[in-house]
Structure 1
Amino acid sequence: MVATGAVLVVDDDPAICVVVGEALRRQGHKVKIAGSIRERSLLMDSFAPDVLITDVMLPDGDGLEGVADILERKPDLNVIILSAQNTLNTAIRATEKGAFEYLPKPFDLNELTRAVSDAIGTRADNGNEAVDSGLPHDGLPLVGRSPAMQEVYRTIARVLSNDLSILVLGESGTGKELVAEAIHSLGQRRSHPFVAINMAAIPRELIEAELFGYEKGAFTGAHARTAGKFEQAQGGTLFLDEIGDMPMEAQTRLLRVLQSGEVTTVGGSKPVRVDVRIIAATNKDLSALIEENRFRQDLYYRLNVVPVSLPPLRERREDVILLARHFLERAALEGLPRKSLADDAAQLLMAYHWPGNVRELQNLMQRLSVLSRENVIAADILRHALPLEAVPSDHGAPAGQLAQAVREWTKRQLGVGLGQSNPNLHTGLLAVIEPVLLQETLASVDGNQIRAAGLLGINRNTLRKKLTDYGLDPLQLRLND
């Protein structure tokens, strides 16, 4: 049985108001619509909603402003924030203001209706306590607007006010340490040390000494008592990078420390009380390591209280250009020559598979900032900077031109592009154009879906769905077949 109640929807987009309002009414909710902060204020008292859904960018101001005051007057109210400003900053601000949920635009309607039902069902137990980090949140290290990154932002925002252990998962170069730094610098331990240790970079026989410290004379070269990483991070955060490379014997001692909150140095006998938040990270499959008896299952459960999964860059292609421009701008702020990306270069970046993930893209943009003689980075410059096997072959150009031509024609005729939806778009016309475009594009890149998605300007998941919808087999769409 779906919990029902009164919902106030605040958004200046009439289409969103109509769609959201109708979906909520069908679930039995009473719904009122407002298009501005002023209208929201007028309806708050007369309508008395159980849930407030509000956009951030409203015609008369910031929709987040005033939310904390509303919650102070109406502590049983739950607030759901919608925003097209899909950044970590917005997610944190929404959490600080006491929001029940934050959903980036474009949002999933089913997810929104579920959030409303959850908010109504739990409003009696929700204290709506706003947590203010006291930070301006400018210059945050994480960049991206893809759905996968939005989920990362929401998770980070939710863990800032607690000390739960966090396990960050992701391939090398995806930004795992950036997540740890963001959680620390924005959380309640930010005034204390952030200490990082890379398990893969330390000899096995020295890991325990590095983590727990050692006494004078404990081993050859131990000339004085030395505090370990746990003691150095006292009151702050200890980041255990590449935790999957930790030897089993060190895992046993680490588990004992996490359970007791006490550290005993190598060669010592008196335990030292430590108070640190643990954030671990790995690019390995810990479940597989557990099956192989190379990682302790009980330690895994201790570390994996809140998992944060970072997607590889090839699965968040909508973020590639945003990241590239961010790195070029940051290089300029650091004193390097200011550069910009040409359209053909942006297309090439989208088609590349990025085995080194965000770190590879950052290094490439820094290198081009220094070495490129041109102020505008074009595709021919990128072709010399990327590995030869990664550069799309010349026969990929016609498909890109065809995709661009179809998108431009569609925009002129109906006001939309391939990856967009419009109720005025004739489905019969789309059914004729899309399959041909998909087939020609995939054939031109020898069936490579990643490159095809980049040329078409859509993400890989969207491409796969379209192939399924039209019954196309990518294995058969090759030039040589």
Structure 2
Amino acid sequence: MSVTGSILVVDDDPAICVVVGEALRRQGHKVKTASSIRERGALIDSFAPDVLITDVMLPDGDGLDGVADILERKPGLSVIVLSAQNTLNTAIRATEKGAFEYLPKPFDLNELARAVGDALGTGKVNESDGAEGALPHDGLPLVGRSPAMQEVYRTIARVLSNDLSILVLGESGTGKELVAEAIHVLGQRRTKPFVAINMAAIPRELIEAELFGYEKGAFTGASVRTAGKFEQAQGGTLFLDEIGDMPMEAQTRLLRVLQSGEVTTVGGSKPVRVNVRIIAATNKDLPRLIEENKFRQDLYYRLNVVPISLPALRERREDVILLARHFLDRAAQEGLPRKSLSDDAAQLLMAYHWPGNVRELQNLMQRLAVLSRENVIAADVLRNSLPLDMVPADYAAPADQLGQAVREWAKRQLGIGLGQPNRNLHDDLLAVIEPILFQETLASVDGNQIRAAGLLGINRNTLRKKLTDYGLDPLQLRIAD
């Protein structure tokens, strides 16, 4: 039996208050709404809600202001934050204030209902442990408002107050090191060193010396004792990039260090106690490497306590223009000519496949900031800077064709549906499109629901419900070997 409670919804958009309020009432909750911080404060005392759902941008101030005080006065209250300011900063601030959950707008009603159920079932779990303004929010390198990036932000926010090992997964150029830096800069180890080492860039015979250090005379050229990366990162964060390229023999020793918390230098005999947070990253399929006996399973479990999957840029196309403008602005701040994008150029950026991901986009914007003669970058200039075989001449055609198909379908249905006021064309259209979209997406990732949900930009629980509703079996959607 589901748990019900009293919910206060605070948003200056009446439509959101009505929709959210009605959805929660249908689940048996008592709901009241408010449109300002002032009204929220009055209802907190008179209505005494179990859960507060609040927007950030309210007419009389920042909705996050005062949340910590409310939770101090009402320790049994759970706070769910909604915001159209879909940035990592907002997620971090919400967590610092003690929010139980943070959901970006536009949000999924099913996801909101799940968050309310979790809040009523478990109570408030996040505590604010820092002074106001204690963390350096400005200038963080992570940019994106897509649902996939919102999930990344939420995960980052949840790991800042602990030292759990993190494994960042993603293709080359997606920003894995930026995630590691953000966790360090915003976390409780931010005053200590952040040390990074790329396993793929170091000769295999030198990896152990780089990681654990070496004694004088340990090998030819070792003229003095040298501290390894673990010792250099003492008290801070050690970022192990491209961990999938680490040789097996070094993996064994790394596992021993992670288990014991001690390192022994190459050529040394006395262990040194180390205290570091481990963040690893890879673009490799580690489970497959385990099957091929190229990666230790026990090390994988030790590193993969909290996984963070970074989407490829082609999987979050809604962020492409946001990122492009961000990189052009940053180039201008660094002294390069200030440039902007034409509408046609923006369309072309959205159509491109981006095999090099965010790194490729950043390099392209920097290059165009220097080489483009005009202040507004046109599509033809952009096209000349991209591989021609990867940019279709009719790059806008697929969206046009889909739009035309929907237009024709709507005309037919409206003709058929005259005199049928109870028809729901929106649901009818989704029933046509969604099963096809889910089938193709699941097939492309061999039935992996986590990856499919990321590509679709929806929550995995939402995907599961949709599959059940449409009678789709993910096991039957795997690509045949």
Report the Cα offset of residue 398 of structure 1.
6.2
Unaligned runs of 5+ in 2: 408-420, 437-443, 445-453, 458-465, 471-481
Q: Distance in 1 between matches of 2:349 and 2:80?
A: 36
The residue number in structure 2 matching 1:478 is none
SS in structure 1 of the partner of residue 221 of structure 2: coil
Q: Distance in 1 between matches of 2:333 and 2:403?
A: 34
Residues 399 and 249 from structure 1, CA distance in 2 versus in 1: closer, same or farther, beyond 3 angstroms?
A: closer
Q: Which amino acid aligns with 1:142?
A: L
Q: CA RMSD in A?
A: 3.0
The residue number in structure 1 matching 2:114 is 114
Q: Which runs of 4+ in 1 moved over 3 A?
A: 125-133, 395-408, 423-428, 459-462
Report the Cα offset of residue 131 of structure 1.
4.0
Identity of aligned residues (%): 82
**TM-score, with length taken from structure 2:** 0.84
Report the Cα offset of residue 424 of structure 1.
13
- Contact residue 82 and residue 105 of structure 2 kept, 8 A: yes
Residues 56 and 313 from structure 1, CA distance in 2 versus in 1: closer, same or farther, beyond 3 angstroms?
A: same
2:142 maps to 1:142: yes
- Contact residue 76 and residue 127 of structure 1 kept, 8 A: no
Q: Distance in 1 between matches of 2:119 and 2:128?
A: 15
- Contact residue 100 and residue 126 of structure 2 kept, 8 A: no
Deviation sequence 1:434-464 (CA, Å, 0-9, x none): 99xx9xxxxxxxxxx9xxxxxxxxx9849xx
Q: Which amino acid aligns with 1:115?
A: A
- Contact residue 95 and residue 130 of structure 1 kept, 8 A: no
- Contact residue 131 and residue 161 of structure 1 kept, 8 A: no
Map 1:56-135 → 2, pairs under 5 A: 56-123=56-123, 126=125, 128-132=127-131, 134-135=134-135
The residue number in structure 2 matching 1:476 is none
- Contact residue 79 and residue 101 of structure 1 kept, 8 A: yes
The residue number in structure 2 matching 1:452 is none
The residue number in structure 2 matching 1:22 is 22
The alignment of Structure 1 onto Structure 2 pairs a total of residues equal to 430
Report the Cα offset of residue 74 of structure 1.
0.8
Q: Distance in 2 between matches of 1:398 and 1:264?
A: 61
Q: Distance in 1 between matches of 2:387 and 2:161?
A: 44
Report the Cα offset of residue 365 of structure 1.
0.2
The residue number in structure 1 matching 2:318 is 318
Report the Cα offset of residue 135 of structure 1.
2.1
The residue number in structure 2 matching 1:230 is 230
Map 1:260-409 → 2, pairs under 5 A: 260-393=260-393, 395-396=394-395
Q: Distance in 2 between matches of 1:304 and 1:398?
A: 42
Report the Cα offset of residue 400 of structure 1.
6.5
Report the Cα offset of residue 76 of structure 1.
1.1
SS in structure 1 of the partner of residue 82 of structure 2: strand
The residue number in structure 1 matching 2:258 is 258
The residue number in structure 2 matching 1:2 is 2
Q: Which amino acid aligns with 1:427?
A: L
Q: Which amino acid aligns with 2:19?
A: V
The residue number in structure 1 matching 2:183 is 183
Report the Cα offset of residue 12 of structure 1.
1.0
SS in structure 2 of the partner of residue 278 of structure 1: strand
Residues 257 and 91 from structure 1, CA distance in 2 versus in 1: closer, same or farther, beyond 3 angstroms?
A: same
Q: Distance in 2 between matches of 1:60 and 1:328?
A: 34
- Contact residue 167 and residue 279 of structure 2 kept, 8 A: yes
Report the Cα offset of residue 30 of structure 1.
0.9
Report the Cα offset of residue 391 of structure 1.
1.8
Report the Cα offset of residue 126 of structure 1.
3.9
**TM-score, with length taken from structure 1:** 0.84
The residue number in structure 1 matching 2:239 is 239
The residue number in structure 1 matching 2:212 is 212
Residues 57 and 306 from structure 1, CA distance in 2 versus in 1: closer, same or farther, beyond 3 angstroms?
A: same
Q: Distance in 2 between matches of 1:30 and 1:94?
A: 24
Deviation sequence 1:246-285 (CA, Å, 0-9, x none): 0111001101100110000000000000000000000000
- Contact residue 98 and residue 131 of structure 1 kept, 8 A: no
2:435 maps to 1:427: no
Report the Cα offset of residue 325 of structure 1.
0.3
Q: Distance in 2 between matches of 1:354 and 1:153?
A: 22
Q: Distance in 1 between matches of 2:117 and 2:327?
A: 41
Q: Distance in 2 between matches of 1:107 and 1:177?
A: 28
- Contact residue 94 and residue 102 of structure 2 kept, 8 A: yes
SS in structure 1 of the partner of residue 345 of structure 2: helix
- Contact residue 95 and residue 126 of structure 2 kept, 8 A: no
Deviation sequence 1:179-206 (CA, Å, 0-9, x none): 0000001111111100000000000100
Unaligned runs of 5+ in 1: 409-422, 439-448, 450-458, 470-481
Report the Cα offset of residue 15 of structure 1.
1.3
